[in-house]
Amino acid sequence: MTAGERREQILRAALTVFAAGGYSGTTTDQVARAARVSQPYVVRLFGGKQQLFAEVYERASRRVLEALAAVAPGPEATREMGEAYVGLLADRDLLLLLLHGFAAGSEPEIGRLARHTLGESYRLYRERTGEGEDEARVFVAHGMLINVMLAVGAPEHAGEDLALDALTVCTFGSGLPVALAGARAEVGR
């Protein structure tokens, strides 16, 4: 395996491990074990946990922002941006990692990246849709609600709480089957 391939292997493992344990609850040793490399190798490549998380977070953020930016401006942009975000539900780790990044916002580099992600999502929505501040805020807030509901496992715990069931259907809409598929994939790991 080349050094570049090994680096990618570690970054993929880090996404999964950080998505499960968050920034505070994850060690570089856990990432190393998941990537089947030594912990000193991870530290040598990335410099430490904060730098590793920041790189994984930046890549995840870029995927989200690229999905939103791919929507052409116009009258269908609101629907298409929503569908672009819903399309990301299949990669549950991606969205959970973003949520953990927001929670770790007090770490300087992670906070900078998280703030940029929120700001760019807001800017892209306004730019692509021509909608106002309130509509853009609701769009970003809806994305955050989706992330929180994934974190608590709302889609896969249907039937436990009728009010949460109603909120889940209302929040995910047509994306509920994708969220459920992502949940099943998570359980199958």
Q: Does some domain include residue 148? A: yes
Average pLDDT of every residue of the chain = 92
d(CA 101, CA 115): 10
> Residue 131: which domain range?
49-187
Q: Does some domain include residue 37? A: no
* Residue 92, domain CATH: 1.10.357
Q: What is the pLDDT of residue 185?
A: 60
DSSP 21: H
Q: Does some domain include residue 143? A: yes
Q: Does some domain include residue 145? A: yes
Q: Does some domain include residue 140? A: yes
Q: Does some domain include residue 23? A: no
Q: Does some domain include residue 118? A: yes
Q: Does some domain include residue 38? A: no
Single out the residue of 57, 103, 98, 92 nearest to residue 180, CA to CA. Answer: 92
What is the count of structural domains for the chain? 1
Single out the residue of 14, 19, 39 nearest to residue 186, CA to CA. Answer: 19
Question: What pLDDT band is residue 184 in, cutting at 50, 70 and 90?
Answer: low
pLDDT at residue 172 is higher than 70: yes
Please give the structure tokens belonging to residue 116.
């940029």
At 29-55, the pLDDT tens digits run 999 999 999 999 999 999 999 999 999
Q: What is the DSSP string of 26-91?
A: --HHHHHHHHTS-HHHHHHHHSSHHHHHHHHHHHHHHHHHHHHHTSPSSTTHHHHHHHHHHHGGG-
Q: What is the pTM of this model?
A: 0.88
